[in-house]
Amino acid sequence: MLTVREGQERIVAQIGNAVPPEVLPVTRALGRVLASDVEAPFDVPPADNSAVDGYAVGSADIPSAETRTLDVVGDLAAGVVFGGTLRPGQALRIMTGAPMPTGADTVYPQEVVERTGERVRIGPIDKGVNVRLRGEDVEAGGIVIERGTVLRPQEIGLITSLGIWQVSVHQRPRVALLSTGDEVAEPGTPRRPGQIYDANRFTLRGSVEQCGGQVLDLGIVPDARDELTARLREAAAMADVVLTSGGVSVGAYDLVKEVLAELGTIDFWQVAMQPGRPLAFGAIGGTAFFGLPGNPVASLLAFMLFVRPALWKLAGRRRLFPPTWQARTLETLRKRRGRREFKRGVLAYRDGGWEVRTTGPQGSGILSSMVAGNCLIVLEEDRDDVPAGEAVTVEPFAEPF
Ligand code: AMP
Ligand code: MG
């Protein structure tokens, strides 16, 4: 039996390099992963400029005590360059962001001066204040955003602030998705007695998209050897990853195993975890294959633990695992030593600390436990029952980025 960590390490080691890059306009790059470093083509900001609306002066004119009066020789808007040089005894009215005039190195905020006609009275101030220096944000040639970074709105804005409008990002890994089982019915169609509507293909679809993948939906395959063989072959030919749910345990109709043995090199793992022990992982030709359990909670959990890092690696991301936190459990948690258990939790901050409770019944078919929750409670292999009040590891459900 494998530990969760061992399973994850094997998968990450076996998954190939990131899918190739493509060049996209920044307006279509949100959520994509940078394929090469973004370097600054010039200093940011490109020139010393004023951080406030006020008056630019040369520091030689700053009085050390008392006040002094200077002539206001002009009015400078943002985006305009002052043509002349500021001389002793002169000040220039300047707006936030306007380049500093030659001869000035300090800006008085307008609230601290007294303006009368074309003259302004100033007092002591620190030399050099209220000036944003050329290159203080980024120096020309410096790396502004590293490859492997997911582009959020702020990264996009930083890129466009450099005058860049197209970027090299990884393509989205293609993930072929199918559900197995005679009992699984397509939502929106009538259902025969004994059938259940498909949940997994849709939790998995959303999960793939949240990971930056592109879904190729191959629908539901009945438990019939020939059809399964044909559909899996088709899936592998068109995708970087094939993802199925159901049919990997030991039921009489669990054909995925048999069929895969013919099509590719697949390991059937027993992972020391709860819920969701069985997992199939391997390759059909050059395409990675994951056979997830059929129970809806187990299949979504298996996705989070084993498929997400693989997709993130294929998508070119640097970080493959989400951060975890510590919280105090509000209830006693039943736990069997020797396996890693995952409960669905509700995490909240109260009275100066993070607290977590479970969402109630934790059966691996109870998908509403995922709906009610906002995190996984992770109980490590070496733990027994956890009494209320103890610290536990929590992993918040991932955001789209
Ligand atoms: P299996 O591993 O195929 O025996 O499936 C285990 C359990 O998960 C059974 O109760 C199945 O009915 C259920 N199941 C399998 N596939 C799905 C699906 N796509 N959506 C919801 N439940 C499913
Ligand atoms: Mg089945």
Give me the tens of pLDDT residue by residue for the chain, a chain 401 residues long: 999 999 999 999 999 899 999 999 999 999 999 999 999 999 989 999 999 999 999 999 999 999 999 999 999 887 889 999 999 999 999 999 999 999 999 999 999 999 999 999 999 999 999 999 999 988 999 999 999 999 999 999 999 999 999 999 999 999 999 999 999 999 999 999 999 999 999 999 999 999 999 999 999 999 899 999 999 999 999 999 999 999 887 776 677 777 888 899 988 889 999 998 889 999 999 999 999 999 999 999 999 999 999 999 999 999 999 999 999 999 999 999 999 999 999 999 999 999 999 999 998 889 999 999 999 999 999 999 999 999 999 999 976 55
Q: Which residue has the tokens 């955003």?
A: 145
For residue 145, the SS3 value is strand
Q: Using CA atoms, how far apart are residues 95 and 98, in angstroms rounded to an integer? A: 6
The DSSP bridge pattern shows strands 278-284 and 265-270 to be antiparallel
For residue 312, give the nearest of 15, 27, 23, 4 by alpha carbon. 15
User: H helices then E strands: how many in the chain?
Assistant: 8, 26
Q: Using CA atoms, how far apart are residues 298 and 180, in angstroms rounded to an integer? A: 15
- Measured in residues, the chain has a length of 401
Element containing residue 160 per DSSP (H, E): helix 153-160
Q: Using CA atoms, how far apart are residues 200 and 331, in angstroms rounded to an integer? A: 30
* The two three-digit tokens of residue 171, written as one number: 């393509």
* Residues pairing with 273 in the sheet: 340
**Identity of the amino acid at 85:** T
Ligand 1 first shell, C-beta below 6 A:
179, 181, 183-184, 196, 198-201, 245-247, 249, 251, 293-296
Q: Using CA atoms, how far apart are residues 11 and 239, in angstroms rounded to an integer? A: 17
**Identity of the amino acid at 63:** P
Task: Report how far apart, in Å, the C-alpha atoms of 339 and of each of 161, 237, 292, 362, 382 are.
Answer: 50, 36, 18, 16, 8
pTM for this structure?
Answer: 0.88
For residue 308, give the nearest of 299, 233, 269, 198 by alpha carbon. 299
Residue 338 CA to ligand 1 centre (angstroms)? 26
For residue 70, the SS3 value is strand
**Cis peptide preceding 275, ω within 30 of 0:** yes
- Closest ligand 1 atom to residue 220 Cα is 19
Q: Using CA atoms, how far apart are residues 367 and 295, in angstroms rounded to an integer? A: 9
Residue 295 CA to ligand 1 centre (angstroms)? 5
Residue 397 CA to ligand 2 centre (angstroms)? 27
Q: Which of 245, 250, 270, 300 to mutate to test the pocket of ligand 1 (most atoms within 8 A of CB)?
A: 245
DSSP 8-state code for residue 60 = G
Q: Which of 200, 279, 300 to mutate to test the pocket of ligand 1 (most atoms within 8 A of CB)?
A: 200
Residue 270 CA to ligand 2 centre (angstroms)? 17
